[in-house]
Chain A
Amino acid sequence: MMKQLLTLALVFSATVLFGQQTYPVNGSYDTRPGLFAFTNATIVVNANQTISNGTLLVKGQTIQSVGSGTTVPAGYVVIDLKGKFIYPSLIDPFTTYGIPEPARTAGGGFGGRQSIFISTKKGSYNWNEAIRPETEARTMFTIDTKKADELRKAGFGSVNTLNHDGIARGTSAAVSLSDERENKIFLKDQTAANYSFNKGSSQNDYPTSLMGSIALIRQTYYDAQWYGRQKEEYNISLQEFNRQQALPQIFEADGWQNVLRADKIAKEFGKQYIIKSTGDEYQRIDAVKATGASLIIPVNFVKAYDAEDPAEARNITLAQMKGWEMAPANPAALEKAGIRFSLTAYGLESMKDFWANIRTAIDNGLTEKQALLSLTEVPAAMIGISDQAGTLEKGKLANFLITSDNLFKSSNVIFENWVQGKRFVVSKMNVNDLTGIYNLTVDSLGSLNLKINGTSAFVQRPGADTTKITASITRNGDWVGISFNLKKTPSGEVRLSGYLTSANPVMLRGESVLASGTAGKWSAQFISANTEPPKKEKPRAVITAGKLIYPFVAFGTENSPKQETVLLKNATVWTNEKEGVLLNADVLLENGKIKAVGKGLSAGSAKVIDATGKHITAGIIDEHSHIAITGGVNEGAQSSSAEVRVADVVNSEDVNIYRQLAGGVTTSHLLHGSANPIGGQSQLIKLRWGKTPEELKFGGNDGFIKFALGENVKQSNFGSGLRFPVTRMGVEQTYIDEFTRAKEYKAGLTAKGNTVRRDLELDAIVEILDNKRFITCHSYVQSEINMLIHAADSIGFKINTFTHILEGYKVADKMKSHGIAGSTFSDWWAYKMEVAEAIPYNGKIMHNVGITTAFNSDDAEMARHLNQEAGKSVLYGNVPEEEALKFVTLNPAKMLHIDQRVGSIKAGKDADVVIWSDNPLSIYARAEKTFVDGIPYWDMEKDAQIRAQQQSEKARIIQKMVESKSKGAKTQRPSADTPRIYNCESLEDYSAALNELEGVKTHE
């Protein structure tokens, strides 16, 4: 009981500086005038205006005036800041200050041990737990004195804080970093609506993938629009979502590709997000700039890697090395590009790194002016508190820093950080300088020389030939601690603590302890001034950064290869047209197209490549690929995920693009996985290595969607087994139900004055019904294949392609009569029950029955030699060689409806062409050059040069890393960064992976 009383008493005794209207006071009121005058200071009013010898008047929490020649009225406490500087306190627009850490379950999601289909949050909220716009930072916020102290020491006066959890995260709030009661420190209660791609602590399986997160955001916009028109449902989340559209919209995205993805959503719905990114924007500054988005950028630059051991250093990738070298120049790159951005301390391992990293950014080209803008006015404007903070103007909050020097100098000391007119001492001002030479006497050690130079100190035994020993000195006001190790007589650390007993001349006195534990007394008597000059401001480092490469991974190049007018001479040309295989023939490529094919073509101005003895074919087309995708290929938490789009998650930086160019692949059909009967919308790309995700897209082609049958969709080998369907019987009903609903939905949309909710999932199904989107269906055994053909007939939709189709040979007649194409594996079988009767003669039988037949990869490795997979149809079934090659060129082009543009060597078609060293179906064939749109993205000779350059570039950066380590920079052990390889069955949880990543960071 007593203890409880005591605690209560403590709570009520907190100092109350300024009146708090509604709170009672225990005892007498202590309301103070709060009048301060700061005189003779260099006042940096804002990034553009500095007043020398100025005066700042503060009344209460407000700035009363800023200027020079001001007369200080009576009653003001005058603080003379001669030689010192005043800056506006900094503002961090992206923090979780004072908000409890959300509880996260690592590694959940679809494919795990549980299935949670709808929100576990009780009440009238959104169906999906990750959509939680009703969350308000203002209702969760409590002052965190420890964190506030850290932030203030770094110079921050106010921050924007949010609940860092979920996809729609609700509103953030701006608070000052004062330690007054919460009621007094809110600058703005709802600064912005916040979003991310990370479902955070949501327990729902959906979404598991990045493309699912994107689809969910999109659908939520439509749901919210519908919500405003209808009267049947009450939904707090959607209501809040709508209300928050009037606020600034802050989107947390990870990396420049996600910046582009977020911005694409914004544009789709007429929004402009402020995007918090990760600091790699320099890699594609033009694309980032084109978004027009303002950015919030961290300064948590990656640490150097331990690179002394060459075997270990092999694990550091070129991208990691260049990232280490170039990331500190990111803020400068943004400034140069004219992108509006704020800086944030978010993501720093320790606030202590903040200034070191800001200065590193400045060393790398960021101007001090921009740095100040990005730490004050820009964030203030972003979160709507420009009327209160960010500059030193009359009427604004008295949030300012008193510093010893220019804020950005490495020798600068922040003395005080005033927040809402309240003083917080960071480092005591006007302390006596101890620099000098002293006579140090320590009991049982005798007399020593002590030299203090600013923050460093040395001791030395008297007499010649003695070594100077570095001592450590700490100071806190008048208290001084010194320790040193004389190494012998005695060895071990000698520790002195004491205080200043006289200021002029300086005299120090106190207690000493030797390593042996012997206690005693010590004193230091000032003898003379230190003649050494004080530590100088480090000269600005001259930074020689490497060059950008596109893409920003190994085999990226500074200048992407150019489209060429080129004549390939005297080759064996596999035309895939009625001309068949032409011997000693030429192919002319011009403006990205095949200009002519034939014998003895004249070169004109074209560059001539002698291809004598070589074979030329159309580029390989992979009907079933999962490369160049980020954030997961399966959104399998629901039986239909027709709303998700691979188009949203194309990853231009995947090294597998280059690896497959080296195998002659020019076009890949990027498919959703096979975890559910109705998967997502696919994306066709050309392997334009070095271009942006948008530029990889094939362009002008029909849209496709992935369907799937069999073991995967019934979750035979993974998951909780709770998601419908778990039998092939249920699979049929999934289709019946989905298409039936889609028909009703379509009818509903045509009714006048309807309030039908726009449903992106059903939109995709309606497109199928309207022959505007085409099905490629993952399929294995004959019963299910037959089922889908029947379902399609009875419902009235078409199946374009059966992919995998391992038992196609059993139902080839049905496929043929329905005009369905088949894209299969050359020889895979026995990897699961449903391929017990998969045979390598499948392709041959389908082909001979008259089906358009292809071989696909579904595998980043196999795609590298699809030409040889086609060769296996010669081994298994004696398919004529010309026809066999079409299995991986013209036939997939036909089934993808792009045979007018690619798939054969014909004048007018795209110049997607491969030069092979041998018969392309042979195991001995190597792709020597691969052209896409007439651009030689793969060239075996050039590849050798790139690798050599890469070696020297890596050697250069390793040198630099080793140097930086020897200069004392923090380092980390290398851990290789391998690209994620997907196939149809890859299951993972995008958010869980992001959460784990963050988990690692906090545990480091």
Chain B
Amino acid sequence: MNKYLFTLLLSTAGTIGCFAQANIVPAAKQTKTIAITGATIHVGNGTVISNGTIVFSGGKILSVTANGQAPQDIEVIKADGKHVYPGLIAPITNLGLAEFSSVKATLDFAEIGNFNPHIRSLVAYNTDSKVPATLRSNGILMAEITPEGGTISGSSSVVQLDAWNWEDAVVKTDDAMHMTWPAIPQSRGEFGGRRQLLTPEVIAERRQNAINELEQFFSEAKGYAAIGKPTVTNTRFAAMKHLFDGKQQLFITADSQKDIVASVNFAKKFNIKPVIVGGDEAYLITDFLKENGISVIVKQPHALPNSTDDDVNMPYKNAAVLANAGINVAISIEGYWQQRNLPFMAGTAVAWGLDKEKALSAITLNTAKILGIDKTTGSLETGKDATLFISAGDALDMRTNHVEKAFIQGRDINLDNLHKQLDKKFSEKYGLKAAN
């Protein structure tokens, strides 16, 4: 037994040793005022400023102007013909909680148990994961680190992606509680007929039982929140407190139209306005969502249609349909390493009917609003954090995305990553030029 443990420890240590990117150092605080000039500035709120100038100091934006002159005696970055964007925000991700999907030892995002409101993602967020650096170089500078599993999975926190530890990474602690609406499971497809291991009746009954249980849990948690000093502490209920006083958001994952309506109405009973995550069929109930002022985080535009008969391009169109109907939409993508494709998810929405700047909002300002961080970030406006990047071309298209420089709260971050390093190493082997 001891020997087994020893081997395990050794192999774990080996893993970490091999892949650390020891020379990518988090950037120091901004000391000099910086101006970026001549760029097309995509503000993030729908407006574009051609030949714009953005000045930032002490980590905050001082000004964003058209045809503006850079003040004297400061560092100027000429970005003529280039584009400046707010740092992209990746909502709903297990970034830093997972390193290799198939290696259990590296997975920290799904706790056991069904009702886990007391679980907090922030404390497990690994700033030394080699993944975040691969996202920064495509413009993703912030992420909402989100637990999964069970019906109530716990609280997420928002982090910026250049940090020594989760303490300096955090942008907003425990921003939202995450819940998955008890859904009707899809039957698995099979070899030429139907295949459903449980009858629809049994599934409906189980689902109703799960909803009843959830309602009971919320009711008791609400009651508990009203007790000043409980004689017996319940950490789960205690963790729900800020859902009822409005200090924490409730994110509910629901995809079918029935589930979305049911989950919104459920939350309403507790005076909570939830955010819908997923929303595959949200396009069928836009009026309902608007009437209730519900924001939707569209998950994974690059997905297969929900059902065989659906428009084959529906997942591409969903975000555009919702946003064009006047719903506040953020776009996300599943997973952690996949987050580097977030800008192209917004690009997909553009291809299928969404205005380009609105699509940008769906991965910047709209997301910031939903996460409750729009006062300090999410767009390039005076007074907000200087979290932004410069791309040589249109950042929403893989053909032209080319991030040359990125700043997080004014800090000039290192855009190197493991992949670039390996590219350099092996390009050298063959006497070729590395890409970066």
Contacts of A810 in B (CB 8 A): 426
A874 within 8 A of B: yes
Contacts of A844 in B (CB 8 A): 423, 435
The answer to whether the Cβ of B109 comes within 8 Å of any Cβ in the partner chain is: no
Cα distance, A828 to B341, chains bound together (Å): 11
**Interchain CB contact under 8 A, A555 and B419:** no
With contacts A258-B192, A831-B101, A923-B351 taken as known, whether A1004 is within 8 angstroms of B199 at the C-beta atoms is yes
Chain B residues, Cβ within 8 Å of A848: 430, 432
Chain A residue nearest to B203 (CB atoms) is A975
A809 and B426: CB pair below 8 A? yes
Chain B residues with CB under 8 Å of A257's CB are: 192
CB distance from A42 to the nearest CB of B (A): 42
Task: Judge whether A868 and B398 touch: CB under 8 Å.
Answer: yes
Interface residue ranges of A858-875 to B (CB < 8 Å): 860-862, 864-865, 868, 871-872, 874-875
Question: Smallest distance from the beta carbon of A863 to chain B beta carbons, Å?
Answer: 10
Q: List residues of chain B with CB within 8 A of the CB of A315.
A: 307
Q: Interface SS of chain A: helix, strand, loop or mixed?
A: loop
CB distance from B307 to the nearest CB of A (A): 5
Contact A832 B100 (CB under 8 A): yes
Q: Encode A628-649 as 1/0 by CB contact (under 8 A) with B.
A: 0011000000000000000000
Q: Mark A758-787, 1 if CB is under 8 A from B, else 0.
A: 000000000000000000000000000000
- Confirm or deny: B312 has a beta carbon within 8 angstroms of a beta carbon on chain A: yes
B291: chain A residues at CB < 8 Å are none
B311 CB contacts on chain A under 8 angstroms: 943, 947
- Inter-chain contacts of B138 with A (CB < 8 A): 875
Query: Whole-angstrom distance from the CB of A941 to the nearest CB of chain B?
Result: 13
With A832-B102, A996-B197 given, is the CB distance from A980 to B190 under 8 Å? yes
Determine how close the nearest CB of chain B comes to the CB of A846; give it in whole angstroms: 10
- State A176–B62 Cα separation when bound (angstroms): 96
Which stretch from B160-168, B181-189, B406-414 is at the chain A interface?
B181-189
Contact across chains for B308 and A553 when beta carbons are under 8 A apart: yes
Query: Is there an interface contact between B308 and A833, defined as CB atoms closer than 8 Å?
Result: no
Complex: chain B residue closest to A318, CB-CB? B309
The answer to whether the Cβ of B131 comes within 8 Å of any Cβ in the partner chain is yes
Chain A proximity of B419: nearest CB distance (Å): 4
Closest to A876 in B: B435
Could you give, for residues 294-318 of chain B, a 1 whenever the CB lies within 8 Å of some chain A CB and a 0 otherwise?
0000000011110111011100000
CB of B3 within 8 A of chain A? no
CA distance A994 to B194 in the complex (A): 10
> Contacts A311-B257, A630-B191, A874-B398; is A830 near B337 (CB within 8 Å)?
yes
Choose one: B99, B402, B423; the contact of A845 (CB below 8 Å): B423
Are B397 and A922 closer than 8 Å at their CB atoms?
yes
Q: Taking CB as reference atom, which chain A residue is nearest B422?
A: A839
A980 to B199, CA, bound (A): 19
Given the known inter-chain contacts A809-B422, A833-B103, A849-B430, please indicate yes or no for A827 contacting B340, CB distance below 8 A.
yes
Interface residues of B in 231-288 (CB under 8 A from A): 256-258
Chain B residues positioned under 8 Å from A972 (CB to CB): 200
Residue among B352, B399, B420 with the highest chain A CB neighbour number at 10 A: B399
A248 in the interface (beta carbon within 8 A): no
Query: Which of A813, A837, A919, A981 gathers most chain B CB within 10 Å?
Result: A837
Distance in Å from the Cβ of A445 to the closest Cβ of chain B?
Answer: 40
Contact of A976 among B101, B186, B399, B423 (CB under 8 A): B186
Say how far B434's CB is from chain A's closest CB, in angstroms.
8
B396 at the interface (CB under 8 A from A): yes
B307 touches A875 (CB 8 A): no
CB neighbours (8 Å) of A990 from chain B are 191
Contact between B307 and A314, CB atoms less than 8 A apart: yes
CB contacts (< 8 Å) of A839 on chain B: these are 418-419, 422-423
Contact A872:B398 (CB < 8 A) given known A314-B307, A717-B102: yes
Q: Find out whether the CB atom of B430 lies under 8 angstroms from the CB atom of A831.
A: no
Residues of chain A within 8 A (CB-CB) of B352 are: 926
Question: What is the number of residues of chain A that contact chain B, defined by CB distance less than 8 Å?
Answer: 93
CB distance from A620 to the nearest CB of B (A): 15
CA distance A997 to B189 in the complex (A): 12
A655 at the interface (CB under 8 A from B): yes
* Cβ-defined contact, A655 with B399, below 8 A: no
Closest to B197 in A: A996
Check B189–A977 contact: CB distance below 8 A. yes
| Alpha-carbon gap, A810 to B429, bound state (A) | 9
Q: Is the CB of B186 within 8 A of A924?
A: no
Chain B nearest Cβ from A831, distance in angstroms:
4
Closest CB of chain B to A63's CB: distance in Å?
Answer: 42
Q: Within the assembled complex, what's the spacing in Å between the Cα atoms of A622 and B401?
A: 25
A830 pairs with B402, CB closer than 8 A: no
Docked Cα-Cα span, A505 to B218, in Å, equals 73
Given A830-B131, A921-B399: A978 and B100 interface contact (C-beta under 8 Å): no
**Pair B103/A832 contact, Cβ less than 8 Å:** yes
Contacting pair A923 B200 (CB below 8 A): no
A976 and B350 form a contact (CB under 8 A): no
Judging by beta carbons under 8 Å apart, are B196 and A1000 in contact?
yes
Which residues does chain A contribute within 8 Å of B432, judged by CB atoms?
845, 848-849
Interface string of A246-278 (1 = CB under 8 A from B): 000000001101100000000000000000001
* Beta-carbon contact of B307 and A317 below 8 Å: yes
Indicate if B228 sits at the interface (CB-CB under 8 A).
Answer: no
**A92 at interface, CB cutoff 8 A:** no
Type the 1/0 row for B178-221, where 1 means its CB is closer than 8 Å to any CB of A.
00000000111111111111011100100000000000000000
Q: A973 and B200 in contact (CB under 8 A), knowing A554-B308, A630-B192, A923-B396?
A: yes
A829 and B337 in contact (CB under 8 A), knowing A923-B347, A978-B189?
yes
Residue of A whose beta carbon sits closest to that of B129: A830
- A875 and B398 contacting across the interface, CB-CB below 8 Å: yes
A950 on interface, CB distance cutoff 8 Å: yes
Is B100 a contact of A973 with CB atoms below 8 Å?
no
Q: Is B336 an interface residue (CB 8 A)?
A: yes
Residues of A within 8 A of B302 (CB): 861-862, 864-865
Taking the complex as formed, is B40 at the interface, i.e. its CB lies under 8 A from any CB of chain A?
A: no
The interface bits of chain A over 983-1004 (1 if a CB of B lies within 8 angstroms of the residue's CB, else 0) are 0000000100110110010001
Query: Counting CB contacts under 8 A, is B348 at the interface?
Result: yes
A978 touches B307 (CB 8 A): yes
Task: State how many angstroms separate the Cβ of A213 from the closest Cβ of chain B.
Answer: 11
Smallest beta-carbon distance A504→chain B, Å: 52
A972 vs B196: C-alpha distance in the bound complex, in angstroms? 13
Q: Give A656's nearest chain B residue, CB to CB.
A: B304
A462 CB, min distance to chain B CBs, angstroms: 46
Q: Which of A830, A871, A978 contacts B336 (CB 8 A)?
A: A830
User: Which chain A residues numbered 437 to 481 have a C-beta less than 8 Å away from chain B?
Assistant: none
Instruction: Give A532-551 interface residues, CB cut-off 8 Å to B.
Output: none
Q: B312 to A840, Cβ gap below 8 A? A: no
- In angstroms, Cα B312 to Cα A555, docked, is 10
B427 at the interface (CB under 8 A from A): yes
20 A-B contact pairs sorted by A residue (CB < 8 Å): A255-B193, A278-B192, A317-B309, A631-B191, A653-B192, A662-B312, A711-B102, A831-B101, A840-B419, A841-B422, A845-B427, A848-B430, A864-B304, A871-B398, A917-B351, A922-B399, A923-B344, A923-B397, A926-B313, A977-B189
**Besides A711-B102, A830-B100, A1000-B197, 11 other A-B contacts (C-beta < 8 A):** A317-B307, A656-B304, A716-B102, A830-B337, A831-B101, A836-B18, A871-B397, A875-B138, A926-B351, A976-B186, A976-B187
Task: Give 5 closest A-B pairs by Cβ, nearest first.
Answer: A923-B347, A973-B200, A832-B102, A980-B189, A841-B423
- Which A residues have a C-beta under 8 Å from some C-beta of B? 210, 254-255, 257-258, 278, 280, 311, 314-315, 317-320, 553-555, 630-631, 653, 655-656, 658-659, 662, 711, 716-717, 809-810, 812-813, 827-833, 835-837, 839-841, 844-845, 848-849, 860-862, 864-865, 868, 871-872, 874-878, 881, 917-919, 921-926, 943, 947, 950, 954, 972-981, 990, 993-994, 996-997, 1000, 1004
Interface residues of B (CB under 8 A from A): 18-19, 99-103, 131, 138, 186-197, 199-201, 204, 256-258, 302-305, 307-309, 311-313, 336-337, 340-341, 344, 347-348, 350-352, 396-399, 401-402, 418-420, 422-423, 426-427, 429-430, 432, 434-435
